[in-house]
Amino acid sequence: METSILIGLDREAGSTLPLLQQLRFDAGSPALNLLSTVGRRRSSAPIERMGTPERLQDWLAGNGLPPVPADAGQLSAVMELREAAYRLLAGHGTAADLAIANTWSSRPMPGPCLRRQPDGTLTLEQPPASFESLMSRLARDFADLAAEPPEQLRVCDFPGCGMLYLDTSRGRRRRWCSMGRCGNVAKVTRFRASHEESR
């Protein structure tokens, strides 16, 4: 199964949505948002929304994460973690997927340090962002979700989508990753089918 790459800088083929909606930052956590950078995941033509290091930078900015230097090799590592994490959260992960997730989640993350300023006051300084700390943070988020799946973790009902998201709606009745995307298409499809049956 081949994965289509986004056409142009900020569009998938046929889409008129702006960049932030293309990358879909609505799954409930940065880790789940990373999974959604593959669109139509369970269809015969999945869409890769993060096919270049520049798109990775767009994704980081859209999620409020610090920019980190990234080249093609590091982008490949992000995609490898993304796919391993998806399989683990979807319930069909392998030993290799566990190894990928654990390799990153077990890496130490630098913490903040106290610094004395010239006037004698103490300030808390955050460590500089790095690719390794980003990957460790995402892997730990995935690990938390996989070890104790929250009750609100859902899979989009729309055939072919497969996006995982946290349902924080009242009564937890959300069925689709996005009402404006899969939900709308599902309703239109259902309407057309019932209209055809009534003829």
Mean pLDDT of 163-182: 81
Kind and range of the H or E element at 48? strand 47-48
Mean pLDDT of 159-184: 81
Rounded to 5°, the CA angle 169-175-176 comes to 100
Q: d(Cα 92, Cα 90) in Å, to the nearest integer?
A: 6
**Beta-ladder partners of 38:** 48
For residue 82, give the amino acid letter: R
The DSSP letter of residue 148 is S
Model pLDDT, residue 169: 82
* Domains of the chain with CATH codes: 4-197 (1.10.3300.10)
Model pLDDT, residue 7: 36
Q: For 46-55, 124-133, 167-176, which range has the lowest pLDDT when averaged over its residues?
A: 167-176
pLDDT digits (tens, 9 = 90+) for 44-69: 889 888 889 998 998 898 888 888 98
Per-residue CA distances from 33 to 96, 130, 144, 177 (Å)? 22, 19, 15, 11
pLDDT digits (tens, 9 = 90+) for 27-50: 888 999 999 899 888 888 898 888
Q: For 4-13, 26-35, 72-81, 177-186, which range has the lowest pLDDT when averaged over its residues?
A: 4-13
